[in-house]
Amino acid sequence: MRCFIDALTYDIADDIALALESGAAAIVDLPEFYVYDVSPALELVHCRPEVASSFNGPRGWLDIQAAEALLVASMGNLNAFVSTDGRQGMISVAEINRNATAWTDFAVKLKAAAGEAGFSSDHGGKLLAAVREFSSNVIEHSEKIETGQVLFAAQPGRFEFVVRDRGIGVLESLRKNPKFAKLNDAGSAIELALQEGVSRHVEEPGHGFGFRPVFVGLANVSEYIRFRSGDHCREYFQKPGGSIDAHTKQSSRLNGFCCTVICTPNSV
């Protein structure tokens, strides 16, 4: 019989993905978890799509609770989705790229969800600007914009958003620049991409990956920021007092790129 453990965290999701990837465990062996933050579950499905078949149900190991509609939408072929309560939503990057009206409608709902979660109009606008910048990053760098998605989930005192794709990833994107042609480590590639002005475009030295808006615009509210590509992850934690703890570590393989930002209005 499965035993109930606790909430699904990034560390647990990564351990599960690594175990499944190596064959050290099977889905039937997994203990039961529930979803609190949606983003670890989104990342786990990105890494190991087969786990989605075991959500909920009599033999389900992951209790996705109120996140079910968003997770299902993220795995389907929908261009856009917003939950009936307005707290969760998803839009494809391809839809953003081809339909300005769809993006405007989605943006209004995202900002409204942030407001309901307790964020000021100013910080809601900065959240929206960061989301838009990241979606532009998918268009410019992924080479597979049809795989890109923007997702958000809000609850009182908490707002998380994810921008992801199944494109070529940060390492291969940087290697398009002859300066980084010999780069062979995804962790180093992520760290480089987070530096202002680093780009795949050799002819545009001041044109980077567009990550700066997260660090500047959301500096007062971002509790946790996570960048994933290839087999590495870089995390940023805001500590009491406002200082930032950052580290890079090896993780389960994720095809493409994924960024998660978790914010709390009382971080101000």
Task: Give, to the nearest 10 degrees, the angle between helix 38-47 and helix 68-75.
Answer: 30
pLDDT digits (tens, 9 = 90+) for 13-72: 999 999 999 999 888 888 888 888 889 999 999 999 888 877 755 446 787 777 888 988
| CATH code, 77-268 | 3.30.565.10
Place of tokens 């095809």: 255
Q: Look at residue 213 in the predicted model and tell me its pLDDT.
A: 59
Where along the chain do its domains lie?
A: 1-76, 77-268
Residue 226 has pLDDT above 70, yes or no: yes
Give the DSSP per-residue string, the chain.
---EEEE--HHHHHHHHHHHHHTS--GGGPPEEE-SSHHHHHHHHHH-GGGGGGBSSTT-SEE-GGGHHHHHHHHTT-SEEE-TTSSEEEEEHHHHHH-HHHHHHHHHHHHHHHHHHT--HHHHHHHHHHHHHHHHHHHHHTS-GGG-EEEEEEETTEEEEEEEE-SSHHHHHHTTSGGGTT---HHHHHHHHTSTT--S-TT-TT---S-HHHHHHTTTTEEEEEEEEEEEEEEEEEPTTS-EEEEEEEEEEEEEEEEEEEE-GGG-
* Mean pLDDT of all residues belonging to the chain: 86
Q: Look at residue 140 in the predicted model and tell me its pLDDT.
A: 87
Q: Look at residue 208 in the predicted model and tell me its pLDDT.
A: 54
User: CA 42, CA 262: separation in Å to the nearest integer?
Assistant: 13
Question: Average pLDDT in the 103-130 region?
Answer: 94
What confidence tier does 268 reach under pLDDT thresholds 50, 70, 90?
very low
Q: Look at residue 68 in the predicted model and tell me its pLDDT.
A: 82
User: CA 9, CA 35: separation in Å to the nearest integer?
Assistant: 8
pLDDT digits (tens, 9 = 90+) for 34-48: 888 889 999 999 999
pLDDT digits (tens, 9 = 90+) for 124-160: 998 998 899 889 889 988 999 999 999 999 999 999 9
Q: Look at residue 206 in the predicted model and tell me its pLDDT.
A: 52
Q: Look at residue 201 in the predicted model and tell me its pLDDT.
A: 57
Which of 89-93, 124-128, 235-239 ranks highest by mean pLDDT?
Answer: 89-93
Q: Look at residue 240 in the predicted model and tell me its pLDDT.
A: 78
Q: Look at residue 207 in the predicted model and tell me its pLDDT.
A: 54
